Amino acid sequence: MHIEVSGNGPDLVLLHGWAMHGEVFAPLVDQLRPHFTVHVVDLPGHGRSVEDSTPLRLPYVVNAIAAATPPAVWCGWSLGGLFAQHAAATAPKVRGLVMLASSPRFVRGHGWPEGADAAVFTQLGQALHDDFASTIERFLALDVMATPEARQQMQQLRQRLLDLPPAPRVLQEGLKLLQDTDLRGALSGLPRPSLWMAGQRDRVVTPAAMQAAAALAPRAHALTIAQGGHAPFLARPEQVGQALQQFVATLA
């Protein structure tokens, strides 16, 4: 599994979302390097780990990452948050958990009205399969603010993501994780402090869903990033970076 390490300071593991890879964090990593030793993971079947055959399942992936990284705070965005939360519940090396536009349960169901309809993910999976480039471009356009600098940033990110498309198998494996996983039951016993950051404009994992999840965990705090979408670190990397610094500073 490919893990890019840079920066200086406390160790921080970053886990990307479905069909992406670690380069999507580039604007955020620029903010974090002066303050953290950042471990940017490419999940199996994604990015520079495209040939990694590790099943995209929680224990397999978490065990592999934990074996390859020092004790650290784990930050998971979207799908990556499922791995981060599982690690925080099971791996002693996890010092703290940051959930970034990520939920213990992504789909709506009994006792969880805050989730999205399962069809949202089915449709996205089909779009990624049919036209990966256009789907990624639409996603970035929704999350990057409409300034000349942001448009240039979007084009750079787009090219980085398109240069390393995911293995076809992880489109299905990731879809299954998003539709079937429910980690709410582990939150009450979560042994580490957690920060739940939502994007104000996110319609996939809403601020209400993040607040509801944080309410289930001890030593948890929910924060909404103003004007952020499903990837708030693209529109507001400085604000997300500052929130991460403040959270890590509170850990013993």
Catalytic residues: 78, 202, 230
State how far the Cα of 40 lies from the Cα of 124, in Å rounded to an integer.
Answer: 24
Share in percent of the chain as helix, strand, coil (round to 5): 45, 15, 35
State how far the Cα of 200 lies from the Cα of 206, in Å rounded to an integer.
Answer: 7
State how far the Cα of 56 lies from the Cα of 215, in Å rounded to an integer.
Answer: 28
- Encode 36-58: b = buried (16+ Cβ within 10 Å), e = exposed: bbbbbbbbbbbbebbebeeebbb
SS3 111: coil
> Considering all CA atoms of the chain, what is the largest pairwise distance in Å, rounded to the nearest integer?
47
Say what the alpha-carbon torsion angle 176, 93, 222, 83 is, to the nearest 10 degrees.
-10
Taking the CA atoms of 191, 195, 198 and 199 in sequence, report the sign of the dihedral they define. Answer: negative
State how far the Cα of 77 lies from the Cα of 98, in Å rounded to an integer.
Answer: 9
Give the residue among 122, 73, 82 at the shortest CA–CA distance from 102.
Answer: 82
- Strand 72-77, strand 94-100: pairing: parallel
State how far the Cα of 184 lies from the Cα of 56, in Å rounded to an integer.
Answer: 20
